[in-house]
């Protein structure tokens, strides 16, 4: 008998349904405050670990395409952080040690900290100036360690059923969609055209 596979279409639709619920739960005032911080920033720094780090990098790239001065924490060419700069942290748990350290340093240097998370009551959440909560089941409620590095070392992840996404990546997927929506909003506010973005695309690769 031919092997039966799960329906990719059905799984995508389940994920889409979950993303819609997350989108509708986002607080509009918090999202608008986040837009204001981005627009008022002298420079924008992005931080995240694992898949959240990939989302942070994607957002940094789009901000650069929009004409913002954006950098990724940890890169060799990232300049020193200064007062008036904004650090945007992507962390579902709000407890990932490397991201916590970056946020604490940014605050000490007189910067603004914005957190995109599913756990506002967290180490980063307690020092953040702006928090956008992207719904998800907290790690502690699933019996998993909150620190990303510990989960990586021990191989502990959320179950698929917890979020309709492999390795429990609803937060990362929703965060990516959220950041792309922010880019679309910034394009409207700055009256940017697709041609404006294309002019800043990499042409030496």
CA dihedral angle for residue 172, residue 74, residue 81, residue 92, rounded to 10 degrees? 20
| Residue 39: pLDDT band with limits 50, 70, 90 | very high
Instruction: Spot the catalytic one: 149, 172, 188, 195.
Output: 172
Higher-pLDDT residue of 193, 69: 69
- Domain of 179, in residue numbers: 31-138+169-191
128 is a domain residue = yes
152 is a domain residue = no
**What pLDDT score does 145 carry?**
54
98 is a domain residue = yes
Radius of gyration of the chain, Cα coordinates, nearest whole angstrom: 18
| Residue 22: pLDDT band with limits 50, 70, 90 | very high
56 is a domain residue = yes
23 is a domain residue = no
What is the percentage of the chain residues whose pLDDT exceeds 90? Answer: 71
CATH number of the domain enclosing 64: 3.40.50.10490
70 is a domain residue = yes
> pLDDT tens across 98-146, in order?
999 999 999 999 999 999 999 999 999 999 999 999 986 554 554 555 5
52 is a domain residue = yes
CB distance 162 to 137 below 8 Å = yes
9 is a domain residue = no
Look at the chain and report how many structural domains it folds into.
1
CA dihedral angle for residue 196, residue 204, residue 62, residue 42, rounded to 10 degrees? -90
**What pLDDT score does 110 carry?**
97
Known active-site residue 75: no
């Amino acid at each position: 008998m031919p092997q039966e596979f799960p329906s990719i279409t059905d799984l995508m639709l389940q994920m889409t349904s979950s993303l819609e619920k997350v989108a509708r739960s986002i607080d509009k005032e918090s999202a608008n405050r986040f837009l204001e911080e981005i627009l008022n920033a002298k420079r924008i720094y992005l931080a995240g670990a694992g898949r959240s780090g990939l989302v942070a990098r994607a957002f940094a790239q789009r901000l650069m395409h929009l004409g913002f001065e954006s950098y990724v924490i940890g890169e060799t060419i990232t300049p020193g952080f200064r007062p008036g700069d904004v650090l945007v942290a992507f962390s579902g748990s709000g407890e990932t040690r490397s991201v916590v350290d970056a946020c604490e340093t940014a605050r000490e240097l007189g910067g603004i900290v914005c957190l995109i998370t599913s756990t506002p009551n967290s180490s980063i959440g307690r020092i953040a100036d702006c928090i956008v909560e992207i719904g998800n089941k907290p790690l502690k409620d699933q019996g998993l360690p909150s620190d990303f590095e510990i989960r990586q070392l021990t191989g502990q992840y959320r179950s698929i059923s917890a979020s309709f996404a492999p390795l429990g990546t609803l937060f990362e997927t929703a965060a990516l969609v959220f950041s792309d929506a922010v880019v679309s909003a910034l394009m409207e506010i700055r009256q940017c055209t697709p041609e404006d973005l294309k002019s800043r695309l990499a042409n030496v690769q």
